[in-house]
Amino acid sequence: MKNLLLLLFTLFILNSVSATGNNTGDPCNLHGKNEAGNATDTTLHYKKEVHLANIRQLTTEGDYAEAYFSFNDSMISFQAKSKKWGALCDQIYTFPFSDGDMIHHMPQLISNGVGRTTCSYFMPGDKSILYASTRSGGDACPPEPGKRADGKYLWPLYPDFDIYVSDLKGNIIDTLVKNPGYDAEATVSPDGKLIVFTSDRTGDLELFTCNIDGSNVRQVTFGLGYDGGAFFSPDSRKLVFRASRPETEAEIAEYKALLKEGLVAPTNMEIYTCNVDGSELKQVTHLGKANWAPFYHPSGEKILFSSNHAGARGFEFNLYMINADGTGLEQVTFDPVFDAFPMFSYDGKKLIFSSNRNNGGTRFTNLFIADWVE
């Protein structure tokens, strides 16, 4: 998912709690409570999580998300905000599973600690990684939006975000997508031929595809609202993504006004699919609240995603699975606070995701990997 998805998680929690009227105190104080209501959760695997086995925690003491497998399933790329690694804002790393663990050892830094980064993904051949960075605007982390008088928590669309390709040592090989304004959230098709990304180059946040070398940029979506966090189906023929669709005059006016300020309110989204050319656009979920971070099941017939639609307090995000036709909704994870960013390995045997489970009552969001059980 994507564009600053670690920040997005924070915004989701704060805005969702505010929307439910429970805006007193710090909602993050509720992190780490387990099913029995104990103060500190040390649970790795909840009993109801029948699709997950042999869960292993990969990180500690930071905010880690958007972990995606290499084509040969031997590595992951991901973004991290980690004080112990010296990453003051999201940076891109890669980790080969054969190299031990990340709990005791810092993995390879890809983004060189320059600017803010997001949305990394392996390129075909597993010798390079694409990611979005604000590096063209300077080496420092760009400022996050301050708290507004109206209490809304918003997500910045940094205009310096462009999409780069780096080798596995952090050397920039190519500027793949560069355009005035926001270009980010890029992922690669399983057949290695196309890239999908989000851009505001038309004046709205739309999906675009291009060839693997950045050529032949084509617009995919056209509806007013934020379209982002897109992934390809296993056969590379379809896209799944999250989208907001403001409908009332007030919603449309607010969306357009925020967009002019380089901001978006990412708290009301549903899951959509379409063909890679934009045809056969379909809304898959009709759940309300925030439904995001979708990823296709290896069969191509189901979709995993994160949602807070069932949360009584608005901030509980869990993973759900749904048929591509919108039927058969099933809850997959049961963490009391936050699970998101699922990705299957290319062989379909593993699932990697981010969670607030087993964080010692802190606010840390860590990476977990599990065997997938049908």
What is the domain-level CATH number for residue 44? 2.120.10.30
The domain tally of the chain equals: 1
| Residue spans of beta strands (DSSP E) within 276-338 | 282-283, 291-296, 302-307, 318-323, 330-331
pLDDT average, residue stretch 145-162: 86
Q: How far apart are CA 31 and CA 40, in angstroms?
A: 8
Per-residue confidence (pLDDT) for residue 162, from 0 to 100? 98
Per-residue confidence (pLDDT) for residue 40, from 0 to 100? 64
pLDDT average, residue stretch 278-288: 98
Per-residue confidence (pLDDT) for residue 266, from 0 to 100? 80
- The answer to which of 102-106, 148-152, 284-288 has the lowest mean pLDDT is 148-152
pLDDT digits (tens, 9 = 90+) for 286-313: 999 999 999 999 999 999 999 999 987 7
- Statement: residue 195 has pLDDT above 60: yes
Q: How far apart are CA 369 and CA 334, in angstroms?
A: 15
Q: How far apart are CA 62 and CA 141, in angstroms?
A: 17
The three-state secondary structure class of 11 is helix
The three-state secondary structure class of 46 is coil
pLDDT average, residue stretch 364-368: 97
Q: Tell me the pLDDT of the chain averaged across its residues.
A: 89
pLDDT average, residue stretch 81-94: 96
Q: How far apart are CA 73 and CA 87, in angstroms?
A: 26
- Statement: residue 21 has pLDDT above 60: no
Q: Can you give the C-alpha Rg of the chain in angstroms?
A: 19
pLDDT digits (tens, 9 = 90+) for 332-361: 999 999 999 999 999 999 999 999 999 988
Residues 6+ apart with CB under 8 A from 31: 337, 338, 356, 359, 361, 362, 363
Count of alpha carbons within 13 angstroms of residue 156, beta-carbon side: 17
- State the CB neighbour count (10 A cutoff) for residue 214: 16
Q: What number of H helices and E strands is found in the chain?
A: 2, 26
Count of alpha carbons within 13 angstroms of residue 76, beta-carbon side: 26
CB 228 within 8 A of CB 2: yes
- The answer to which of 31-40, 128-137, 184-193 has the lowest mean pLDDT is 31-40
Query: For residue 36, what pLDDT band results from cuts at 50, 70 and 90?
Result: very low
Query: For residue 267, what pLDDT band results from cuts at 50, 70 and 90?
Result: confident
- Statement: residue 139 has pLDDT above 90: yes
340's enclosing H/E stretch is: strand 339-344
Q: Which residue, 349, 354, 352, is CA-closest to 365? A: 354
- The answer to which of 24-28, 107-111, 176-180, 319-323 has the lowest mean pLDDT is 24-28
CB 23 within 8 A of CB 218: no
The first and second tokens of residue 18, run together, are 């505010």
- State the CB neighbour count (10 A cutoff) for residue 305: 27
DSSP one-letter code for 70: -
- Statement: residue 118 has pLDDT above 60: yes
Q: How far apart are CA 125 and CA 143, in angstroms?
A: 35
- Per DSSP, helices labelled H in the chain are 5-19, 249-260
- What range defines the domain where residue 45 resides? 5-372
pTM of the model: 0.90
The three-state secondary structure class of 27 is helix
Name the more confident of 362 and 30: 362
